[in-house]
Amino acid sequence: MGSLPFSSRAARTAWRIVPTRALSGVIGWSAGIGIPERLRVPTIERFARLYGIEARDAEKHLSEYRDVDEFFTRRLRAGARTVDPRPDVVVSPADGTVIEGGVATEGHLYQAKGTFFELEELLTDADASRRLRGGAYLITYLSPSDYHRVHAPVSGEIVGWHHIPGTLFPVGVRSVGREPRLFVSNERLVTLIESSAGLCALVMVAAIGVGHITTTYDLDIATHARSFRRAGIRHARYDQPRPVIKGGEIGTFHLGSTTIVVFEPGRVHLGSFAPGDGTRMGESIGKIVAEGSGRITEVG
């Protein structure tokens, strides 16, 4: 990281000084301001043009979105995405741009420019990290232009989740290159899915302007709530796992961020992806090559 140009070092220093939590709160507050009905269509059309959002994919007419956040977190109209139905196919959990992908050899995941981060630190769960060590992973960045709901890459059962508080640094390509340990520094929510391919960890990483992740499978999860911010690292296991189908909705980013999906070693082979490649929710990113079943027995 010592070879960074001056502009990148200056930006890194600036973002470490900026009160990102307070700034994110202001952004979230402004996005939630109600738009008068007569101004909704022109306001949202302008917002969509500004960020390159494909508004015609939205589930509802633009006049039905009461504020910018409601439009930003929109569901898609029927048929806007197709989930690959083949039972051995693993699908992309989100629209976005590939940051990195590969195999978590010895528990290391590659970030950028020769920097790595640790699987166990990402998940804060020793048992899940042990099972996923050496498995395939894919990191995808969701820009403001992307669809911001996150979906299950496989069918199975949601057995638990972790919430890890942290910073809210930006997570765009430039930030990934200049901020070491970015993905284990930022706030994140980990959803654990047991499937025919064993364990899958789906990580939603928050960023500046986000600090607000909600889930569909558990309405009590809202990472912007004070109870989450003050509780420190939280672990939850379900006595009765919650079923989810491939392509089923998992959660929502309230503004842009990153997903990281990790699979058990030898269970899933991901396709060939290079940084900058685009992904679309529901499209194939790999195949299940060996089935397995296991249960997480401890949190540590």
Catalytic residue among 24, 175, 195, 257: 257
Q: Are 8 and 112 in contact (CB under 8 A)?
A: no
Strand partners of residue 102: 137
129 counts as catalytic: no
- Helix, coil or strand: residue 167: strand
DSSP per residue, 64-133: G--SHHHHHTPPBPTTSS-----TTEEE-SSSEEEEEEEE-GGGEEEEETTEEEEHHHHH--HHHHHHHT
By three-state DSSP, how is residue 223 classified?
coil
151 catalytic? Reply is yes
Out of 148, 151, 162, 163, the active site residue is: 151
257 is catalytic: yes
Q: What separation in angstroms does the CA of 261 have from each of 72, 122, 180, 232?
A: 23, 11, 19, 23
How far is residue 256's CA from residue 280's CA, in Å, rounded to a whole number?
15
Q: How far is CA 206 from its chain centroid?
A: 7
Q: Are strands 278-279 and 96-103 parallel, antiparallel or unpaired?
A: antiparallel
Separation between Cα atoms, residue 226 and residue 160, nearest integer Å: 21
Q: Among 24, 69, 92, 95, which one carries the catalytic annotation? A: 95
Residues 6+ apart with CB under 8 A from 95: 142, 146, 147, 278, 279, 280, 281
C-alpha pair distances (Å), 100 with each of 12, 155, 278? 21, 24, 12
Catalytic (active-site) positions: 95, 151, 257
